Chains A and B, each alone.
Chain A
């Protein structure tokens, strides 16, 4: 716990330092047009959760507001605060034990969520998932505070994203979770840079710190990283380029043995292509050396509490995605994930329609299948109807 206190003091010190610096030099540059900008959206999400045979149904309702506040006091400084307020009600809240705890981000170091009220079947919570200040000078860039550190390259699974793994099933969280961290970036050339990031956590052994070097060569982007994840030494590499007209991306992350645990490898390979008439296809593959490889009788073992070490609970995983824009207003996509050992299958179709300039509606379906008691069968099915108004 001593470490946490130390981190906290450094954090506060730098925040004050940056704020002071900022107020002193704020008047010198006035090029940016908007000093303060507020954007965001309001969403309404209706959800239906069915059991395997569609015998039982649990409904859920969510009204969701996001406010993104951007502050551009000068060319050297900028800041952001983003607020996610959600009002949940209905059976989903009623039947989920400790609902308000379940919707918290377990990665956060400083508790930045407020539960406005909580009844048996209704919860309202505001969560600040971005709160940072950034300083840019020449080739340097320093960002401090709650932020997202995106080191991932691939589409669904990102082994290199060791700071803030996101749940690919949580389609209603487009911004993805962030972390309390400091990130320093130094630009070496037009196409290469070094980035150092360190993030704090509730418990000192949950901290993550790493350094990444990325560069571009022969029409490929490459990156190499090394650091410490939850006291485990970790190394990663990733690339994105193309073979012929198809994209080719990959990410590899290695976790060294630590105390009682053995080493681990996560590997993702992915290729995408756009056919004539605009059909987009993406074929991906994930190997998790510590994943399950046999059918599981108790499906609660399928833990989708994802982490950098657990991008999927299963060992071998394939994903096929196809997407198409049918008209400029209507588009659709289907993703099918299959893990052969456990015979786990996820079918994830969705359609989106733009009703007017700032109003969108979409429908998303998630069906889970798995082998249970020598029988391949449905497990759970979910449908979501969503309206979104952006401003």
Chain B
């Protein structure tokens, strides 16, 4: 059930209830890791590859993000979806359909659903929830991933948040604060998804993982990968970029 690569985690999972760590320090580690991949703003081009036993499909997307409040995703390929845009402003999400040139507002219940058939949810993509504000953090211990000394953190959603997860186990590299590995558990404590980071490279002056693999626990022969082609951090991005007008202009 648990890959041998992470024996320490499997042990720690058993001891999860004893995980007492230092909450403030844990949050600070998480903050640094979050800042690493997110920046104050980010603009990225990526490929999302969905793999199943008999086929695979790729989708090219461009994303713009600013904090937790604003996100925009433009689909660049395949041809039939090209020009489709998703816009998130605070708690609202809209979808721009280029063929009919109109916007559709998505119901809040759509956030926890699969995003365009991938193993990621809408929430994963637009970062509706904040790994900092919506969870309580604790340090479970240390581990080594490859040659990287890492922290093992446990994130429990705060009671008032309506998150789909019951618990997250996050492995963060001690030197560069890279989020190497994340396990998503449901409310009954069962492992649902495992996300692992690969291909560490420098992009826009930062060392970051440029490929993430999301593998559903009950479907081991399927996965979704996010492969970063480019990413730029902390370039000025006005709030006024995240508007319906801009959704139309991207086309």
Q: Is B91 an interface residue (CB 8 A)?
A: yes
Q: Which residues of A contact B240 (CB under 8 A)?
A: 190
Contacting residue for A176 out of B55, B100, B117, CB 8 A:
B100
- Residue of B whose beta carbon sits closest to that of A240: B105
**Majority secondary structure of chain B interface residues (helix, strand, loop or mixed):** mixed
Shortest Cβ gap from B160 to chain A (Å): 15
- Residue of A whose beta carbon sits closest to that of B77: A357
Q: Which residues of B contact A190 (CB under 8 A)?
A: 239-240, 242-243
User: Are B239 and A391 in contact (CB-based, < 8 A)?
Assistant: no
Q: Is A351 an interface residue (CB 8 A)?
A: no
Q: Is B24 an interface residue (CB 8 A)?
A: no
Contacting residue for B108 out of A240, A245, A249, A276, CB 8 A:
A245
Q: Which of B10-18, B34-42, B78-86, B135-143 contacts A (4 or more CB under 8 A)?
A: B78-86
User: Are B243 and A174 in contact (CB-based, < 8 A)?
Assistant: no
User: Are A275 and B109 in contact (CB-based, < 8 A)?
Assistant: yes
Shortest Cβ gap from A167 to chain B (Å): 13
Bound-state Cα–Cα, A216 to B105, Å: 12
A254-286 with Cβ < 8 A to chain B = 272-276, 278, 280
Q: Is A27 an interface residue (CB 8 A)?
A: no
**Residues of A in contact with B, size category:** 35 or more
Shortest Cβ gap from B216 to chain A (Å): 12
Q: Is B92 an interface residue (CB 8 A)?
A: yes
Shortest Cβ gap from B157 to chain A (Å): 16
Contacting residue for B100 out of A175, A216, A358, CB 8 A:
A175
Contacting residue for B80 out of A41, A148, A175, A246, CB 8 A:
A41
Q: Is B101 an interface residue (CB 8 A)?
A: yes
User: Are B101 and A148 in contact (CB-based, < 8 A)?
Assistant: yes
Q: Is A44 an interface residue (CB 8 A)?
A: no
Instruction: Known A328-B52, A357-B78; judge A152-B102 contact (CB<8 A).
Output: yes
Per-position 1/0 for B153-186, Cβ under 8 A of A: 0000000001000000000000000000000000
Q: Which residues of B contact A272 (CB under 8 A)?
A: 107
User: Are A274 and B109 in contact (CB-based, < 8 A)?
Assistant: yes
User: Are B108 and A360 in contact (CB-based, < 8 A)?
Assistant: no
Per-position 1/0 for B85-97, Cβ under 8 A of A: 0000111100000
Q: Is A242 an interface residue (CB 8 A)?
A: yes
Q: Is A219 an interface residue (CB 8 A)?
A: yes
User: Are A150 and B102 in contact (CB-based, < 8 A)?
Assistant: yes
Per-position 1/0 for A317-350, Cβ under 8 A of B: 0000000010111000000000000000000000
- Residue of B whose beta carbon sits closest to that of A166: B100
- Residue of A whose beta carbon sits closest to that of B50: A328
User: Are B100 and A390 in contact (CB-based, < 8 A)?
Assistant: no
Shortest Cβ gap from A359 to chain B (Å): 10
User: Other CB < 8 Å A-B pairs besides A141-B245, A174-B99, A219-B92, 15 of them?
Assistant: A39-B82, A152-B102, A155-B104, A190-B243, A191-B89, A216-B92, A245-B107, A273-B109, A274-B109, A274-B112, A278-B114, A357-B78, A358-B79, A360-B80, A391-B79
Q: What is the interface of chain A, defined by CB distance below 8 A to chain B?
A: 39, 41, 136, 141, 148, 150, 152-153, 155, 174-176, 187, 190-191, 193, 216, 219, 221, 240-242, 244-247, 249, 272-276, 278, 280, 325, 327-329, 354, 357-358, 360, 388, 390-391
27 interchain pairs, CB-CB under 8 A: A41-B80, A148-B100, A150-B101, A150-B102, A175-B100, A176-B100, A187-B245, A190-B239, A190-B243, A191-B89, A221-B105, A241-B105, A242-B107, A242-B108, A245-B108, A247-B108, A273-B107, A274-B109, A274-B110, A325-B117, A327-B52, A328-B50, A329-B117, A354-B57, A357-B78, A358-B79, A388-B80
Q: What is the interface of chain B, defined by CB distance below 8 A to chain A?
A: 50, 52, 55, 57-58, 78-80, 82, 89-92, 99-102, 104-110, 112-114, 116-118, 162, 239-240, 242-245, 249
